[in-house]
Structure formats: structure tokens, C-alpha cells
Structure 1
């Protein structure tokens, strides 16, 4: 068995390039970040509690600034790790940030709906 430098190239569905996919996912990161912050603080205002102990400490000790600092650290780590990946796989970074934050938004909305 030998390696001749050839690599398998996969096409994304449709005409989406890896760069376009990554750009769309970074937009989703921004939207989900804002959604998570807003729904978290609405829930807290309604008497709900933050379930993440790290976020809870940041929010209770530093308020909105603490929550934004946590989000900023997460994005910063993602941006630092991004160049370590081949260009075709860099979309995994924003996907890894957007997925849990998007889920958190829906969980927060559900929790708010049960209280309101």
C-alpha cells in the first residue's frame, strides 16, 4: 500500500462550497449566541435558574458581562483552533459552537413557555 498524494474530494449537497457553508454557520453562531443570551436572561427574570454551573457563576457574579465573556472565550478558542484544520473541515468549528447554543435556545424557549 502506498500514498501518492491523491485525496478523496467530497462535494456538499447542491453548489455549496465549504467556504459558503462555514460563513452560514458563523451567521448561525451569531444568531444562536444572541438567542441564548436573550432567552437565558428572560428565563432568569421569570425566576428560572441557569443549569450550567460555570455559566451560573459567571452570570450571578458578573451579569451580562460574565455571560458574554464566556461566549467570547468559546468563540476565541474556536478561532484559535480553526487554522489547525484543513480548509474543507473548518466549518466544524462554527457548527460545534452553533449546535449547543441553538439547542439551548429551544430549551430556554420551552422553559419560558412553561413558566409564563
Structure 2
């Protein structure tokens, strides 16, 4: 961190380009997507209920295939929107998927742990 009198700037310990950050976030999207689907269905098989009404409806109507389609649709929209942003801002696209899905995995694991 440095201070030049007018602004404070923070430097990461590594040189992280927007492209490298975006690649890392897409990896996190893939991991969190798989984690969310797996933990959701493990929880459902243990007697827990899906709290998201849209996901619950899709799962009730189409099972795992529906959940895969729902997640795939979200990724497709993200990929379609990606070229609309300047390169420096593109990491926000995978972050918008990875953050809530990673939180969902954590909640799912907590709920599963509560009944095991």
C-alpha cells in the first residue's frame, strides 16, 4: 500500500491481470456449479428442501437434468454478456455466478452437517 497524498493504492502480492483473474473465476464457477448441484441433491436425498422456488420447481419437474439446464442457462447468459464489457471489467461476469453458487455450497454443506 502506498500513499501519495491524493489517493491510496493497494497492490496485490502477485501481478494479476484481468484475463488471469477471469480465468480463475471461471474455474471457480465450474467448481461451485458442480458443488451446488451435488450438495443440493445430497441434501434433498437426506430430506432437506430446496429453498429457491425456481430451482425447486425445476427439480420437481425435471430432476437433475432440469437443474443442469437451469445452471447451463445461467452460464450461457453470462457468456453471451461477456463480450459486451471491456476486458478490464469482464471478471465481474464469472464473479456474479461464482459468488452466490459458492455461498450456496457452504449453506448446503452446513445444512447437511446439521442432520448427519
TM-score, length basis structure 2: 0.89
Q: 1:41 to 1:112 in 2, by over 3 A?
A: same
Match of 1:20 in 2: 20
* 1:115 CA drift (Å): 1.0
Q: Which residue pairs with 1:95 in the alignment?
A: 95
Which blocks of at least 5 consecutive residues in structure 1 are unaligned? 1-9
Cα gap change, 1:71 to 1:62, in 2 (>3 Å): same
Pair 1:74 & 2:110 matched: no
Deviations 1:53-75 (A, max 9, x none): 00001111100000000001100
What residue number does 1:106 align with? 106
CA contact (8 A) 1:12 1:18 kept: no
Poorly superposed stretches of 4+, deviation over 6 Å? none
Matched pairs, number? 107
Unaligned runs of 5+ in 2: 1-8
* SS at 2:15 equivalent: coil
Q: Aligned-pair distance for 1:11?
A: 8.6
RMSD (Å) for aligned C-alpha atoms? 1.4
Pair 1:12–1:53, CA change in 2 (3 A): farther
